[in-house]
Every structure is written in structure tokens, then in C-alpha cells.
Amino acid sequence: MVDPVDAAAFLGTFLVLAGYLAVTAHVAARNVLGDVRADRALLVGPVPAAVSMVGQGLEVFPLVVLAAAVIADLGAIRRSYDEDWRLSAYVTFIHVVFTTILSTVIGGLLILASGAPG
């Protein structure tokens, strides 16, 4: 039997991750494609989030999960924005780079805030 607290934590983590990836996907798509509809990114974010959560749940090697998530992201971006593979790969590359940079900055700020006096 699944503990309701564990299920709620899992669902909450998935929703936050999917939302975060949707926002960063939208920024990447706007950077590469110009003016795009924001609702398209809502179709992209949950795909790599689901791959990541399932991969971690199954305890798959992290680099395999990362590769699978990037491939799933590429497929979701191609399908959502209806672009060719090459342009979709470029949007995916920008998405990965932007998400990595923003995550590093947010993580650094959280580390700084946790060590602040007072």
C-alpha cells in the first residue's frame, strides 16, 4: 500500500518539476523561435519530468536517465512546436543549457540563504 504522504510528495515534486521545465522550455523556445504561445510549453514540461521521476523511482543510472529525459524533451519540443528535427534539437539544446544555468543560480542562492546569519 502506498503511503498517502509519499504519494502527495511524489505528485508535488512532479508538478513543481514539470512547471519549472515548462517555464524554461518556453524561454528556450522564445529565444530560438521568436514569439510562441506559452501553452505549447505546458505540453513539453511534463515529458522530461516524468522520465526523470520514473528513472529515479526505478533507480536507473543517472546518466541514462539524463539522456532519456533529453531525448524525450526533444520529442516533446518537436511535437509541440511542429518544427523539423534540426531546429527542435537546437531548442532542446538551449532548453538544457538554460535550465542548467538557472538551476545552478537558484541552488547557489539557496545555499547562500541557508548560511546567512540571523
Is residue 80 over pLDDT 70?
A: yes
Identify the band that residue 5 occupies on the pLDDT scale cut at 50, 70 and 90.
low
Is residue 1 over pLDDT 60?
A: no
Q: Cell numbers 532548453 correspond to what residue?
A: 95
Domain that holds residue 20: 4-114
User: What is the average pLDDT value for the chain, to the nearest integer?
Assistant: 93
Separation CA 93–CA 85 (nearest Å) = 12
Q: Based on the structure, what is the number of domains in the chain?
A: 1
CA-nearest of 98, 79, 106 to 32 is 98
Amino acid (1-letter code) at residue 60: V
The pLDDT tens digits for 10-23 are 899 999 999 999 99
Q: Look up the pTM and report it.
A: 0.90
